[in-house]
Structure 1
Amino acid sequence: MDNSTILYGGLTLVLAAILSFYTVLVLWSPETIVPKVSEKKYRSRRSPSKPLPLGSIHDEKAAVDLTVVIPAYNETTRLPSMLTSTIDHLATIPKRTYEIIIVDDGSSDGTADLALKLSTGYAESDIRVVVLEKNLGKGGAVRHGMLHGRGRRLLMVDADGASRFEDLELLWEAMDKISPEEDAAVAIGSRAHLVKTEAVVKRSVLRNILMYGLHTILRIVGVGHIRDTQCGFKLFSRSAAQQIFPYQHLPTWIFDVELLLLAKQLRIPVAEVSIEWHEVSGSKLNVVKDSLQMLRDLLILRANLLLGRWKAAPKPVDQ
């Protein structure tokens, strides 16, 4: 066998490996999320039976100061107290107008009906209840709410109430500093300062091992500058939300990393702010299963970004 034959055979194997890798990547990559007609509407205290059209993040001007997006999957137990603490705090700042978008992510326990019932007790609040026809995952629910937010700033917050809602003011202040003119900016809650405290130490050994492993992988994929990517308490300026969320692909737990990588790609400043947080029972996270899915999704995310299959388009600068 001559050298040319060996070289040809080697090149063939390399090309076959590349083609196989690309095929697997395409097959494993999530499909583009296309909302159903019913998902573009909401019910509220004012219109409990007739769904009304949602707003859009692409509207030129904000209609309220703040949009609060709450992804909820089977949250009839934890949502009531979380919603109460949210509205109690927002009531302390009467000059700040707001809307709350509760995105029921295909729940089977009546979460949407409960949310609508709870809204009747808050006459001064604009609470909008949206129902996704099937469960997408936390990332898919957050994305949906953000794409239909009308706020000048938009906050994503978990339905479990683990984050102290009053700490919104810390994120608000941080955003004022990095974006005084309301340019694109992100302020994220961080639990990194709690790593050696009782709040984290008391968690299972397996969860803590996986947490440290995740942090190592995150440094490899490009967000090592962020100490806590997974805290579900993040504030976006309207400009940042307009540039980031239309290009989000991952609907699963690790979607936060994609948001931060998109912000980095777009050179959008991110402020990481220490907040109060506590463990709340009833987590939907399956530690082993979901950790393996996170690893797979991180690899899919990084590969798609490196190959240019996934990328954001910067917002045009006004002439």
Structure 2
Amino acid sequence: MTTRLSVVVPVRDEARRLRTTLDGLIDALARLRHPAEIVVVDNDSTDDSAAVALSYRDTAVPVRLLSCVTPGKGAAVRTGVLATSDEYVGFCDADLATDVSAFPPMLAQLDAGVNAVIGSRAHRDSKIAAHHGITRRTGASLFRFATRQLVPGIADTQCGFKFFDRATAEAAFRPLRTQGFAFDVEVLARVQRAGALLAEIPVTWTDVPGSTFNPVRDGYDSFASLARIRAVLANEAAARPHRTPSTPGVLDRTTPELARGALRSA
């Protein structure tokens, strides 16, 4: 059957847990009524991540491997998204911290006409098991505060579970400039500026040890990236002085019926 959903998984030195992640994704995606594929993007790993991905042949859900030598999670996800042509595309993290139970409600929203669906740990119905230290929690709070002007109305920009219809994915990822961990902010800002309808859905999220995110090094880079994103978007807006700004829509919905109601009232 023709694939309708592509799930991009960026990996860098994830050989130890990639097999568990792929097994979980294959099991979950095979149960959906949307034919799907998994696209593993190896971000210049020094371990056997690529070999693990290549070992998945003739599985219930196809797994293919791409290479991205440009360092950064944003660069890897962009490579994967733009290498697909399916109706829906998005990404999840290699640690599968967001439970696969988020796939059915995500697809229900996209089928209902929502353009972008993102998992939100800040959603009142989310179930979170986190073990971050005080330094990382404080940094995350400050980062959320710093993103408010760039992506108003979005409570959680950094949850690694985001999916889009094809047109919205192209609008967000083709001009993407941010290559590091803050790329989500630029993606969401571009989604909003395109006038897309976006829904935040609750997730079950578990902090999985072994993240490649370094709170000091990557935290500093992420804050610096916000200034660059702001400048890039401002320059692009200045180059289109006669364009009428789009008004983004952000839904707090979990069912397609509610999404349709919001679309009718928009």
1:254-304: per-residue Cα shift (whole Å, max 9, x none)?
000000110111101110111111000110011011111011110011012
In our comparison, the structure showing a higher alpha carbon Rg is 1
Quote the Cα distance in structure 1 between the aligned partners of 2:147 and 2:152: 6
- TM-score when normalising by structure 1: 0.71
- Between the aligned residues of both structures, percent identity stands at 31
- 1:142 counterpart residue number: 77
* Residue pairs, 1:220-259, within 5 angstroms: 220=149, 222-259=150-187
Residues 11, 49 of structure 2: 8 Å contact kept: yes
> Alignment partner for residue 89 of structure 1, among 5, 16, 28?
28
Quote the Cα distance in structure 2 between the aligned partners of 1:308 and 1:161: 35
**2:59 is the alignment partner of 1:131:** no
What displacement does 1:207 show? Answer: 0.8
- 1:101 counterpart residue number: 39
Which of the two has greater strand per residue? 2
**2:134 is the alignment partner of 1:205:** yes
Quote the Cα distance in structure 2 between the aligned partners of 1:224 and 1:301: 15
- 2:258 counterpart residue number: none
* Residue pairs, 1:1-319, within 5 angstroms: 63-93=2-32, 95-117=33-55, 119-120=56-57, 122-132=58-68, 134-179=69-114, 185-193=115-123, 199-200=129-130, 202-220=131-149, 222-308=150-236
1:90-136: per-residue Cα shift (whole Å, max 9, x none)?
1213x42122110000000021111111x13x43332111122x242
Quote the Cα distance in structure 2 between the aligned partners of 1:143 and 1:242: 10
Query: RMSD of aligned C-alpha atoms?
Result: 2.5
Q: Which amino acid aligns with 1:227?
A: A
Change (3 A) 1:208 1:194: farther
Residues 172, 191 of structure 2: 8 Å contact kept: yes
Q: Which secondary structure does the structure 2 equivalent of 1:281 belong to?
A: coil
- TM-score when normalising by structure 2: 0.84
Q: How many residues align?
A: 242
Residues 6, 39 of structure 2: 8 Å contact kept: yes
Q: Which secondary structure does the structure 2 equivalent of 1:78 belong to?
A: helix
Residues 41, 76 of structure 2: 8 Å contact kept: yes
What displacement does 1:166 show? Answer: 2.3
Q: Which secondary structure does the structure 2 equivalent of 1:192 belong to?
A: coil
Residues 107, 135 of structure 1: 8 Å contact kept: no
Change (3 A) 1:92 1:192: same
Q: Which secondary structure does the structure 1 equivalent of 2:135 belong to?
A: helix
Give 5+ residue unaligned stretches, structure 1: 1-61, 180-184, 314-319
